[in-house]
């Protein structure tokens, strides 16, 4: 392999630079600041103007992790009563699911079918209430997209909030639909006598899935509905 041609040692600086694959004197282009960087700089400037000193790293971190004011403002457009009602419904469905598991362990087919049906009914009630909430948001033009309407200075933050709201609650509702489908299959199997005190594993596993979906809502409810309710 032959070595690449190199400039002579005695070559001038201009001649040596001509061998480089990039221009030495080319202007350096600074990349644009990201949104987070702009927020940090704006906060530092405002903090120095108000206090005369720079903020600490802890204060900068607290600023970045704070809930935007627009999120709290948009959260007030959610129906707290319906959200609390749905929370109670899912807690009750967890109880009926636990009773269904207990009935399957004891081999009580009648009670097993009853509690599975009650679990499906409560899950359907939850989805019905959530569908009503969605329809109300459509009516108020609070669905993110070209027809989104939100008065005031928090319109951009509100659109982000409702994007997260529909994404998270919609994904949760999808898992609820899947759970109801599973309960329906288990109910048919229970009616046919497939389960007893010696075999009830599908009931227990499905119960864990149902409880998981319920717990997710327990986190979603305060995260979305209670951002500014304490003020």
CA angle 101–107–108, rounded 5-degree value: 85
Question: pLDDT category, 47, cuts 50, 70, 90?
Answer: confident
- In angstroms, the CA 190 to CA 142 distance is 43
Angle between helices 35-51 and 57-65 (to 10 degrees): 120
Q: Which of 134, 41, 118, 42 is nearest to 83 (CA)?
A: 134
- How does the average pLDDT of the chain come out, rounded? 83
Residue 23 in this model has a pLDDT that exceeds 60:
no
Q: Which residue has the higher pLDDT, 69 or 179?
A: 179
Residue 199 — φ and ψ, nearest 5°?
A: -145, 105
Average pLDDT on 21-35 reads: 57
pLDDT the model gives residue 150: 87
pLDDT at 124 over 70: yes
User: For residue 35, is pLDDT > 60?
Assistant: no
As a whole number of Å, the CA-based R_g of the chain is 30
- Does residue 214 register a pLDDT over 80? yes
Tell me if 43 sits within 8 A of 55, measured CB to CB: yes
Report the Cα 16 to chain-centroid distance in Å.
57
Task: Record the tokens describing residue 205, joined without a space.
Answer: 């596993």
The domain 71-225 having CATH identifier 1.10.10.10: the answer here is no
What's the mean pLDDT in 159-170? 91
Task: Give residue 28's pLDDT band: very low, low, confident or very high (50, 70, 90).
Answer: low
Task: Judge contact between 79 and 136, C-beta under 8 A.
Answer: yes
More confident residue, 209 or 76: 209
Residues 6 or more apart whose Cβ sits within 8 Å of residue 89:
122, 125, 126, 129
Q: Could you report the per-residue pLDDT of 126-147, keeping only the tens digit for each?
A: 999 999 999 999 999 999 888 8
> 55 versus 169: which is more confidently predicted?
169
Which of 5-9, 42-46, 63-67, 120-124 is most confident?
A: 120-124
Helix 201-225 and helix 155-191: axis angle, to 10°? 160
Q: What is the pTM of this model?
A: 0.70
**191 or 154: which carries more pLDDT confidence?**
191
pLDDT at 3: 53
Per-domain boundaries in the chain: 27-66, 71-225
Average pLDDT of the segment spanning 44-67: 67
């Amino acid at each position: 392999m032959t070595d690449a041609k190199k400039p002579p040692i005695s070559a001038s600086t201009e001649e040596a630079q001509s061998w480089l694959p990039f221009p030495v004197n080319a202007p350096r282009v600074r990349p644009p600041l990201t949104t987070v960087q702009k927020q940090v700089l704006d906060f530092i400037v405002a903090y120095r103007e108000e206090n005369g000193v720079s903020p600490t790293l802890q204060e900068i971190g607290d600023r970045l992790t704070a809930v935007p004011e627009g999120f709290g403002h948009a959260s007030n457009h959610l129906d707290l009563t319906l959200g609390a009602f749905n929370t109670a419904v899912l807690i009750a469905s967890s109880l009926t699911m636990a009773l269904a598991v207990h009935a399957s362990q004891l081999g009580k087919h009648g009670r097993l079918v009853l509690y599975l049906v009650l679990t499906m009914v409560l899950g359907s009630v939850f989805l019905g209430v959530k569908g009503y909430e969605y329809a109300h948001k459509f009516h108020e033009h609070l669905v993110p997209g070209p027809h989104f309407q939100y008065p005031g200075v928090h319109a951009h933050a509100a659109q982000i909030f409702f994007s997260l709201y529909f994404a998270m609650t919609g994904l949760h509702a999808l898992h609820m639909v899947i759970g109801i489908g599973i309960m329906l299959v288990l109910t048919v199997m229970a009616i046919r006598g497939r389960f007893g005190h010696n075999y009830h594993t599908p009931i227990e596993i499905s119960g864990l899935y149902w409880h998981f979906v319920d717990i997710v809502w327990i986190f979603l409810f305060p995260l979305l509905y209670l951002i500014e309710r304490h003020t």
